[in-house]
């Protein structure tokens, strides 16, 4: 394969799994061509990862991550071995540069390499470099705009190693924010006028952090990270009810908790989440020329906490919905709809990776 990664350019038209190694869990998604719709969610799995095995997207303890991925793969029971994985955005340097139009492919490679050395704080031998020609430059018709991406080899190799421990073959390494954007774009394409002209705010409420990105006409116009996530709720449950992390994780999903849970734990958590969302929007309005948001999409595992979505809608007065990346797709009979509704927002990155199979 020649691991010249991360790769926006490589495509895989054959069977492919999207694999997201995140702080809380390993997520695997397999999309296949559908019969009535163009795609079908064939199977997925979410398996918990031990705490600290992945932090800030870094693989700290590869064996534990591989063990969780192995469990997920057994649950998947698929024959597919080619996988798409994602690097955390923090581990990848991206840069848009202008190069002369109409060069042979090899010349772009050389030019990208020499340009890259200006932006990368490591020796060029230590990085995986990749690029994508975005199209003609707006400023100069004799130039093309090129996106270059560089990542430390060891970071890429950490992921490849985990996949290989499970007998999998990484054929695409993407960037996590690009992958989740791909899934969000797939959904916003169903909006009236394909979402053109709409300012869409995406809140990814995960385990430790909430990622905010605001998009207009396919361009990211605002990005920010806030420290709010589902781990906070887990910790409150552990502290107040003397639960182990595993017990707290289960009970927060089943809601089988003492009566004061709603008022003493859940409500304050929701209030904090709502205040965080409102603050991010306020910051967006004061730091950009924009004065409105037309739609809020909630993604990430913790966004399904009962009442959070409604409270955000009420406070912000913006149409708010929990996003399923599988909108418009067929769903395999073996998948339980109720469970999928809870899991879908956590599967956005994995789904975006699985979508790479369908790149034109
Ligand atoms: N049904 C549910 N009800 C309540 N919370 C849930 C549910 N499903 C998942 N969560 C919570 O979502 C969080 C994990 O979300 P997600 O998988 O998006 O995070 P992550 O990507 O691993 O972490 P991060 O984005 O912070 O790196 C956990 O705190 C988990 O308890
Ligand atoms: Mg996440």
Q: What is the pLDDT of residues 127-167, one digit of tens each?
A: 888 888 888 988 898 999 988 888 888 888 999 999 999 99
Domain ranges of the chain: 17-90+157-184+329-358, 91-153, 191-322
Show the CA angle centred on residue 174, arms to residues 320 and 124, nearest 5°: 135
Residue of 48, 350, 19 lying closest to 165 (CA atoms): 19
Average pLDDT of span 5-28: 78
Nearest in space to 280 (alpha carbons), one of 212, 191, 348: 212
The CATH code belonging to domain 191-322 is 3.30.420.40
| pLDDT given for residue 360 in this prediction | 57
Distance CA 307, CA 243 (A): 23
Which of the four pLDDT bands, split at 50, 70 and 90, describes residue 116?
A: confident
Instruction: Compute CA 32 distance to the chain's CA centroid, rounded to the nearest angstrom.
Output: 20
* Cβ of 238 less than 6 Å from ligand 1: no
pLDDT at 355 over 90: yes
Q: Is 305 in the pocket of ligand 1 (CB under 6 A)?
A: yes
Give 270's contacts (C-beta < 8 A, 6+ positions apart): 305, 307, 308, 311
Average pLDDT over the chain, rounded to whole? 92
Burial class (CB in 10 A: 0-12, 13-18, 19+), 219: exposed
CATH number of 91-153: 3.30.1490.300
DSSP state at residue 288: S
- CATH T-level assignment (fold) for domain 17-90+157-184+329-358: Nucleotidyltransferase; domain 5 (3.30.420)
Answer yes or no: is the C-beta of 346 below 6 A from any ligand 1 atom. Answer: yes
Distances (CA, A) of 47 to 53, 76, 119, 323: 13, 11, 37, 21
Give the pLDDT confidence of 55-70 residue by residue, as tens digits: 888 899 999 999 999 9
Give residue 250 CA to ligand 1 midpoint distance, Å.
Answer: 12
Question: Stretch 198-215: mean pLDDT, rounded?
Answer: 96
d(CA 51, CA 24): 7
Report the run of H or E that residue 296 belongs to, with start and end. Answer: strand 295-299
Is the minimum distance from the CB of 96 to ligand 1 under 6 angstroms? no
Write down the pLDDT at residue 11.
52
Q: What is the pLDDT of residue 344?
A: 98
Query: Is there a common fold for 17-90+157-184+329-358 and 91-153?
Result: no
Which tokens go with 207?
Answer: 């385990």
């Amino acid at each position: 394969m020649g691991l010249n990664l991360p790769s926006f350019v490589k495509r895989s038209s054959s069977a492919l799994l999207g694999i997201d190694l995140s702080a809380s869990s390993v997520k695997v998604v397999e999309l296949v061509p559908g019969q009535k719709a163009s795609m079908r969610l064939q199977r997925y799995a979410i398996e918990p990862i031990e705490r600290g095995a992945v932090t800030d997207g870094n693989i700290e303890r590869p064996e534990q991550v591989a063990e969780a991925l192995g469990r997920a793969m057994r649950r998947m029971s698929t024959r597919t071995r080619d996988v798409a994985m994602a690097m955390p955005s923090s581990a990848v340097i991206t840069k848009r540069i202008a190069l002369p139009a109409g060069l042979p492919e090899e010349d772009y490679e050389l030019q990208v390499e020499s340009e890259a050395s200006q932006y990368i704080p490591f020796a060029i031998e230590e990085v995986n470099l990749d690029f994508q020609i975005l199209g003609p430059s707006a400023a100069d018709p004799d130039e093309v705009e090129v996106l270059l991406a560089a990542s430390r080899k060891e970071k890429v190799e950490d992921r490849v190693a985990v996949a290989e421990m499970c007998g999998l073959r990484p054929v695409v390494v993407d960037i996590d924010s690009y992958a989740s954007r791909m899934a969000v774009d797939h959904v916003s394409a169903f909006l009236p006028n394909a979402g053109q002209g709409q300012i869409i705010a995406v809140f990814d409420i995960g385990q430790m952090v909430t990622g905010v990105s605001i998009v207009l006409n396919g361009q990211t116009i605002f990005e920010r990270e806030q420290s709010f996530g589902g781990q906070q709720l887990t910790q409150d449950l552990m502290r107040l009810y003397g639960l182990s992390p595993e017990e707290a994780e289960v009970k927060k999903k089943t809601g089988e908790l003492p009566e004061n849970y709603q008022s003493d734990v859940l409500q304050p958590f929701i209030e904090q989440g709502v205040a965080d969302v409102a603050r991010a929007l306020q910051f967006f309005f004061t730091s950009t020329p924009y004065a409105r948001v037309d739609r809020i999409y909630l993604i990430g595992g913790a966004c399904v906490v009962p009442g959070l979505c409604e409270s955000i809608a009420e406070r912000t007065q913006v149409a708010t919905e929990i996003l399923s990346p599988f909108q418009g797709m067929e769903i395999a009979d073996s998948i339980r709809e109720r469970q999928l509704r809870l899991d879908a927002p956590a599967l956005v990155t994995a789904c975006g990776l699985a979508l790479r199979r369908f790149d034109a």
